[in-house]
């Protein structure tokens, strides 16, 4: 499942490569995503240029401009479990991507196209006005971005107060902090030395500070490396992410802890596989 670093690295590549291009035409070959794609999609985006690409949590926002609207159209994309967005030209190597799951295509004026593919259809392709992006049902209740100043120890200590939920569930709660999923939650807590199933309200101030301090460099490093490796995820150029090799606990059950050599354990917290080192994490 793509997480924040995957979407942010995709955003950065798109910001460099497609901003300023015009959408010549568009096609929706299958509307059946988590919510149906609007039947007016093609007509509402055609002849618009791409004015910018932004991100909120794991949502990618493609800002359009038709040269006349005061409040232009925006495309909001979410990639669900298995979605991808690839920019393709005649030489694109589509191996591993099943064309039967190319649901939405945007033809650009440089003879490339952006293709939204999602085999499992948990993703979203929505249209809204730019001024309304933050108030859509999907985005309106999201907590602060983990890379912003608003995500700090004072804030996290405040939301942890009185919460009986496990600390891992708390930092995966999109209303608490937006964009941290299962992988980075496990990794952050390992680096902070905090066991994932500790009750949030009992995590000390010092531990909260370590969690916040470890989150930002981990996400930034992962963004730099184009996200994590997943079978179904490719970055815009079709390359898989490379972060996988640097994961210290996620997916490493039974393997040696890279800090102390004890075995990494796997438990279930909030119905999600959770990896930790019982020696390094208290
Ligand atoms: Zn260890």
Residue 146 annotated to the active site: no
From the list 11, 55, 58, 265, the catalytic residue is: 58
Per-residue confidence (pLDDT) for residue 6, from 0 to 100: 83
Positive or negative torsion for Cα 22, 64, 75, 215 = positive
Per-residue confidence (pLDDT) for residue 223, from 0 to 100: 84
Q: What are the residues whose beta carbon lies below 5 Å from ligand 1 (ion)?
A: 257, 259-260, 277, 279-280
Residue 272 annotated to the active site: yes
CA 242 to ligand 1 centroid distance, Å: 23
Tell me the whole-structure pTM to 2 decimals.
0.87
CA 191 to ligand 1 centroid distance, Å: 10
Judged on CB neighbours under 10 Å (0-12, 13-18, 19+), 98 is: exposed
- pLDDT of 207-225, one tens digit each? 999 999 999 999 998 888 7
- pLDDT of 135-189, one tens digit each? 999 999 999 999 999 999 999 999 999 999 999 999 999 999 998 989 999 999 9
CB 233 within 8 A of CB 117: no
Residue 190 has pLDDT above 80, yes or no: yes
Residue 144 annotated to the active site: no
**Locus of tokens 């920019």:** 87
């Amino acid at each position: 499942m793509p997480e924040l670093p995957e979407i942010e690295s995709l955003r950065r590549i798109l910001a460099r490569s497609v901003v300023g291009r015009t959408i010549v035409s568009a096609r929706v070959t299958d509307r059946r995503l988590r919510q149906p794609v609007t039947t007016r999609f093609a007509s509402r985006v055609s002849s618009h240029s791409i004015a910018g690409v932004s991100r909120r949590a794991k949502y990618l926002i493609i800002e359009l401009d038709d040269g006349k609207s005061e409040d232009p159209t925006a495309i909001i994309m979410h990639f669900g479990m298995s979605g991808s967005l690839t920019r393709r030209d005649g030489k694109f190597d589509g191996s591993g991507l099943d064309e039967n799951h190319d649901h939405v295509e945007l033809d650009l004026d440089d003879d490339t196209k952006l293709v939204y593919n999602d085999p499992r259809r948990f993703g979203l392709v929505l249209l809204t006005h730019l001024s309304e992006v933050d108030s859509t049902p999907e985005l309106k209740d999201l907590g602060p971005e983990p890379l912003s100043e608003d995500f700090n120890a004072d804030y996290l200590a405040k939301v942890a107060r009185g919460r009986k939920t496990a600390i891992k569930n708390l930092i995966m709660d999109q209303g608490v902090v937006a964009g941290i999923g299962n992988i980075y939650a496990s990794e952050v807590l390992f680096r902070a030395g905090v066991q994932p199933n500790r009750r949030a309200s009992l995590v000390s101030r010092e531990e909260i500070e370590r969690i916040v301090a470890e989150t930002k460099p981990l996400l930034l490093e992962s963004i730099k490396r184009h996200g994590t490796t997943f079978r179904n995820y490719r970055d815009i150029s079709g390359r898989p992410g490379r972060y996988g090799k640097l994961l210290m606990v996620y997916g490493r059950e039974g393997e040696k802890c890279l800090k102390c050599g004890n075995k990494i354990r796997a438990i279930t917290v909030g119905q999600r596989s959770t990896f930790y080192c019982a020696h390094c994490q208290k």
